Each structure stands twice: as C-alpha cells, then as structure tokens.
C-alpha cells in the first residue's frame, strides 16, 4: 500500500541576508495511512519546515514529495492550493479561527471552499461539531469558547474537507494538560479509527505517548537513533478514557 | 468646479485605498489561513472585492443622504444645488469603480502573502 506522504532526499534552504541557511538537509520519511506520527526536535531543527513542505505550503529546494502517490514537487504555486484543499487538513497552534464567524461558520468556510452547497454545508458543519463534542456551541463565536473548544472547532474544520492527511503544528501548546490529552485522544482516533494520516509537530513531551512513531529532527536531518515505535499502539493505551472524544456513530 | 471634482475623486480613492489596505493588513492572518486551507488566489480576491463593493454601496448611500439634505437646504438659498437622477446614478457607479480599484492595492499585498506565516504562532 502506498504511503499517504513520502518525502525523499528533501532539502530546503533559505536566504538570510547574504548567507544561505539549510533548514532541511536530505530528509527521507514516509507516513502511512492510519498512522499518528510525531515530529519532535529543538527549535530551528526544521520540523515546521518539513510540515510546511508536506502540507504543500512551502516548496522544497530539492528532493521529492509525494502526496497520496502523486508527485507534487514540480507543481506550480497556482496548483498547490488545489492539492491542499483535496488532501490535507491543518490544525494550528493558535487555532487560526475567524473571529467574526461562529463555530459553524468557521467549519462551513472549508465546505464553501470545496463548493458544497450552503444548506448541505450547514448541516455537515453542525454534525461535525457534534462529533467533536461541541453540540450546542455551533452558534458561539471563538471569543466565547475555551482553548480546548477552539481547538475542537479547528479539528472539525480540518475534517470538513474529508482530507486523508491531517497536519498539526503544536496543537496542544496553548492548552492545559487535561485539555491537551483530550485533543490528542481525538487525533489518535482520527488516525486509528478513521484511517487518516496524522502528523504532529510538538514540543510537548506529555503527548508523546499517543504517537505510533516519533521522529526527531535535528539540524535539518532525521536523527538516526531517534525513531521510536511504541510496542503497543497509542490508541490502545488510552482506550476507555471518559472525556469527550470523537463520536463516530 | 471640474478640478475640484477630480481632486475629490483622487482624495477619495487614496482614502479608500488606505482604509482597505489597513483592514487587509489587520486580517493578514485570516487571509494566510484561507490560503493554507487551499483557497485559490481568485477566492481571496473575491473576498477583498466584495468588501470594497459593500463599503462603496454603504458609503454611497450615506453620502447621498447627506447630499440630499444639502441639496434640499440649498433650495432656500441664492444658489440651488442640482442633483439630477442620471448624475446620482453615475456617481454610484463611479464610487463602485473607485472602491474596487482602490482594493487592487490590497489584492497585490495578499497575492504576495506567504501562507507559511500561519505556522508562526
């Protein structure tokens, strides 16, 4: 089975003044369907750059990137938004919700981008928010929601386009421990019960136990001894938590 | 009189352009998020142009309300101000064109926006 994401010999360099900075120096990585992969490493190691390239937000300097078996490295800037829209959902550290839109409208925005008719998108948005435990909050504005609730709206929005790949940049950084665990439980279910490929960049050591695989990035390379695969999938370790999780009924 | 009208148009254009530009800059994070979600540039342009058009319509009607008062008041004075219907209609379209044209400055800003900025906290 082909991997959902495959990067080969990936490099990325930035110009900083007259100097050239190598953010990634030859990364090889595959992410399988139904896998929750965590990218860890010190600040400036290249984690977010790698995530951005996987997410077709940044283009690589060299190397190959395949999304769902399709080579995307040769695509133009105009073609990349369509790849993101069809295949990838994003979850951000700062939630990145639109403050003047309600929770449901934030989710509907993704559906509007995909051309879903208004009546259908409203129903789907409401259903998705129910699934992430926000029934009754569909008409709330982001300013009326807690951090955990905002991140649930962000998850619902990321899922609205039915992407195969979910990319999350520090999704628990702005959340307390319990809320962070609840969010990670949802991410784990997205991978293990919905078959999505979930890639998370994190500094949060509290959530590493949820990963199927942890990859450490250092100085733009995958540290050779730092690929951990837990003996028991993290989804099983946290099975049975009583906190609100995804309702997959 | 014509020079005053042209100057008024130029000043109006600059003020609208600056206002829409300032609003766009204030919402760069939202535009960046839209682009990261997969919105093509054309979608983002439509958002900005719609915003400019709505501002034009609201501004025009507010301006016309004030103008009607001035026109009405001038009837009692020595020099009545005339505002024939074709002129009022023409002003509407001119206002629309001016506002949408002013939005082009903001469109340029958003076109060059790097969607990777959404990952910077």
**Tens digit of pLDDT for each residue in A27-83?**
999 999 999 999 999 988 999 999 999 999 988 999 999 999 999 998 988 899 999
Domain count, chain A: 1
User: How many angstroms away from the CA of B30 is the closest CA of chain A?
Assistant: 6
Name which of B34, B38, B39, B110 to mutate to probe chain A: the one with the most chain A Cβ atoms within 10 A of its Cβ: B38
List CB contacts of B16: < 8 A, sequence separation 6 or more.
Answer: B52, B55, B98, B99, B102
**Which of A57, A78, A98 has its CB closest to that of B30?**
A98
- Does some domain include residue A163? yes
Summarised one tens digit per residue, pLDDT across range A159-202 is: 999 999 999 999 998 888 888 999 999 999 999 999 999 999 99
**Most distant pair of Cα atoms in chain A: their distance:** 56
Q: Establish how many alpha carbons lie within 13 A of residue A91's alpha carbon, considering only the half-sphere containing its beta carbon.
A: 32
Summarised one tens digit per residue, pLDDT across range A108-123 is: 999 999 999 999 999 9
CA A151-A43-A201 angle, 5° bins: 35
Q: Cα–Cα distance between B84 and A198 in angstroms, integer?
A: 64
DSSP A4: S
Residue with tokens 């319509």: B57
Where does residue A66 rank: exposed (0-12), middle (13-18), buried (19+ CB within 10 A)?
middle
Summarised one tens digit per residue, pLDDT across range B15-69 is: 888 888 888 888 888 998 999 999 998 999 999 999 889 989 999 999 999 999 9
CATH number at residue A64: 3.40.50.300
- Does some domain include residue A115? yes
Is the interface score ipTM higher than 0.85?
no
**Cβ contact, residue pair B37, A78, below 8 Å:** no
Q: Cα–Cα distance between A167 and A221 in angstroms, integer?
A: 19
Chain B residue nearest residue A112, CA to CA: B39
**Cβ contact, residue pair A55, B36, below 8 Å:** yes
Chain B residues whose beta carbon lies within 8 Å of the beta carbon of residue A109: 34, 37
- Does some domain include residue A242? no
């Amino acid at each position: 089975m082909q991997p959902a994401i495959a990067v080969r010999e990936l490099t990325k360099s930035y110009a900083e003044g007259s100097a050239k900075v190598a953010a990634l120096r030859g990364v090889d990585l595959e992410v399988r369907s139904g896998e929750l992969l965590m990218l860890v490493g010190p600040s400036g190691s290249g984690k977010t750059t790698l995530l951005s390239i996987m997410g077709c937000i940044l283009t690589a300097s060299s190397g190959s990137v395949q999304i769902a078996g399709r080579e995307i490295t040769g695509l133009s800037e105009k073609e990349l938004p369509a790849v993101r829209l069809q295949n990838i959902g994003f979850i951000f550290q700062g939630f990145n919700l639109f403050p003047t839109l309600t929770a449901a409208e934030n989710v509907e925005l993704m559906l509007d981008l995909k051309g879903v008719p208004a009546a259908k998108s409203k129903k789907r948005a409401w259903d998705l928010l129910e699934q992430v435990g926000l029934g009754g909050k569909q008409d709330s504005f982001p300013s009326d929601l807690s951090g955990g609730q905002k991140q649930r709206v962000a998850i619902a929005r990321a899922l609205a386009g039915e992407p195969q790949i979910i990319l999350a940049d520090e999704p628990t950084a702005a959340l307390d421990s319990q809320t962070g665990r609840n969010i990670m439980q949802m991410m784990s279910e997205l991978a293990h019960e919905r078959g999505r490929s979930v890639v998370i960049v994190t500094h949060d050591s509290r959530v590493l136990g949820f990963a199927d695989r942890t990859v450490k990035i250092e100085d733009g390379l995958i540290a050779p001894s730092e690929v951990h695969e837990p003996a028991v999938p993290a989804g099983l370790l946290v099975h049975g938590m009583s906190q609100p999780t995804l309702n997959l009924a | 009189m014509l020079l005053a009208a042209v100057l008024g148009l130029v000043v109006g254009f600059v003020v609208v352009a600056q206002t829409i530009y300032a609003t766009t800059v204030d919402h760069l994070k939202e535009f960046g998020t839209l682009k990261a979600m997969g919105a093509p540039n054309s979608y983002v342009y439509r958002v900005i142009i719609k915003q400019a058009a709505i501002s034009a319509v609201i501004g025009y009607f507010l301006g016309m309300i004030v103008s009607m008062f001035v026109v009405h008041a001038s009837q009692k004075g020595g020099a009545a101000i005339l505002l024939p219907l074709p002129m009022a209609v023409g002003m509407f379209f001119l206002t629309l064109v001016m506002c949408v044209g002013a939005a082009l400055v903001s469109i340029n800003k958003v076109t060059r926006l790097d969607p990777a900025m959404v990952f910077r906290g």
